[in-house]
Structure 1
């Protein structure tokens, strides 16, 4: 928490943002950035009482503070061993890039609620196909989750909180929802990073069942997945069918977001997300 006396002094500091000397303005900006997240509430309040050009400066400072804080927390997260990375935590950290004020617990409660409802309909002797049918019916028929074919590159399709709110997303984000529900249910479902279309796999002794969360949880055979790859112009490799790690999934999620913002010509957000991608891939160097 900031000292109240210092909070009162901030208004005087803010006025220096209108100084004609660029070095002074840069120094003030960096001073505020160095204070860190504690100063953000004061900056947000000040934006309503200052001239438009200072308001823009304050917003730039707020965004940089939030970016620095997110990168720091993401670096701590990404520095863990692959086996220790939590998909839900990582997905919601990424969502805080665009929604810094989101309550991460809200998404967890929603996923709990979905899983609890499905669990109430399952019995121990259900075959994998029956389990998948019940999950699919609740997610896609009753709750209305669906692939967003009309606005595929909307960044909200990749943020977990917005996918849960809007009930729509792209293959990987809908798969993340499916995986997080399956984890709560204790089901052996993993992600499969097919090029061009992220899939799921229900592991079982006599061969796995492949699932397409973008198309209502449709069940596919391995041969059908191979035909998809060939028809899409991809060379079939055994590695395509390996279970994706959490780091693999988040890497793909971030790449999709970078591409989405590039399509929107938002170079700044694409650049900032690229920084998160580099941290995820090389946390010690990011």
Structure 2
């Protein structure tokens, strides 16, 4: 991650609330340093303007959702990339807008950003393994699946999906369908990218993803420990030592604490030899 992109992302991570589209595009800017964020934000606004007449004719929230889904997935041709699900480009909002292909979370960001510009109350839902969208109005809530052409899911369909994931009957807990904010959404996008890069042993990109996750969520012990281990693997001993020490400061009673203490001793000696 170059210094300019790092500063931009740090500044964004310090904001509350975080602007979702800008955050998603800043994730992409690490891969495309010359990316013009405003160009793609304007594209989202243009999509909303084009969809507006159809939604204006709709009366209920259900009809508006159906109109928005028909516009995005039938007329404009956005779709889930089932053939190359693990392609990192599926996670970059600029690429989603250019290629009309995405995964559940990136298509959800698109859906939320266009829908909100049209006055819909839309929120991300961090459902297990498959990100969804929730629409809220005075009458209740709708759960929408942008990866499957904006299908509106009922409780039985949600329950069936859980059974597929866990291979046994599972109750639908309210926690599974609660709305999440932009910080959570961007963190999940980065975790997806981190996992994709780790599968390809692209450790520099894994490190970049971890850096940005920790900007968004400095208290994420899992990522802090993961970054410490990665730094040591990359022979970046001083930052590895710093992360291990920070982990112990935050979680001295953690189950991994003893292993981390051993790493601190080992790396303290290593750094001392290098100096």
Same fold flag (TM > 0.5) = yes
Whole-angstrom CA distance in 2 between matches of 1:79 and 1:222: 37
Alignment of 1:135-174 (within 5 A): 135-174=68-107
Once the 2 structures are TM-superposed, how far is the Cα of residue 235 of structure 1 from its aligned partner? 6.4
Q: Does 2:129 correspond to 1:196? A: yes
Q: Is the 8 A contact 2:22 2:41 kept in 1?
A: no
Alignment of 1:95-114 (within 5 A): 95-114=28-47
Once the 2 structures are TM-superposed, how far is the Cα of residue 224 of structure 1 from its aligned partner? 2.0
Alignment of 1:1-286 (within 5 A): 66-81=1-16, 84-123=17-56, 126-233=59-166, 236-282=172-218
Once the 2 structures are TM-superposed, how far is the Cα of residue 125 of structure 1 from its aligned partner? 5.5
Identify the range of structure 1 (112-121 vs 149-158) with the bigger mean alpha-carbon deviation.
Answer: 112-121
Q: Is the 8 A contact 1:230 1:236 kept in 2?
A: no
Whole-angstrom CA distance in 2 between matches of 1:140 and 1:232: 25
SS in 2 for 1:178: helix
Whole-angstrom CA distance in 1 between matches of 2:212 and 2:74: 35
Once the 2 structures are TM-superposed, how far is the Cα of residue 96 of structure 1 from its aligned partner? 0.3
Q: Is the 8 A contact 1:210 1:222 kept in 2?
A: no
Aligned residues: 218
SS in 2 for 1:131: helix
Once the 2 structures are TM-superposed, how far is the Cα of residue 227 of structure 1 from its aligned partner? 2.6
SS in 2 for 1:121: helix
Cα shift readout 1:168-216 (whole Å, capped 9, x = no counterpart): 0000000000000011111111111101110011112333111100000
Query: Structure 2: which 5+ residue stretches go unaligned?
Result: 225-242, 244-275
Cα shift readout 1:40-82 (whole Å, capped 9, x = no counterpart): xxxxxxxxxxxxxxxxxxxxxxxxxx5232222211211123x
Once the 2 structures are TM-superposed, how far is the Cα of residue 122 of structure 1 from its aligned partner? 2.3
SS in 2 for 1:203: strand
Cα shift readout 1:98-150 (whole Å, capped 9, x = no counterpart): 01101111101211111001112222662122111211111111111000001
Q: Is the 8 A contact 2:125 2:133 kept in 1?
A: yes
Q: Which residue of 2 aligns with 1:36?
A: none
Compare CA radii of gyration and give the structure with the larger one: 1
Whole-angstrom CA distance in 2 between matches of 1:242 and 1:111: 25
Once the 2 structures are TM-superposed, how far is the Cα of residue 267 of structure 1 from its aligned partner? 1.5
Bigger RCO (CA 8 Å, 6+ sep): 1
Once the 2 structures are TM-superposed, how far is the Cα of residue 226 of structure 1 from its aligned partner? 2.6
Q: What is the TM-score normalised by the length of structure 2?
A: 0.75
SS in 2 for 1:102: coil
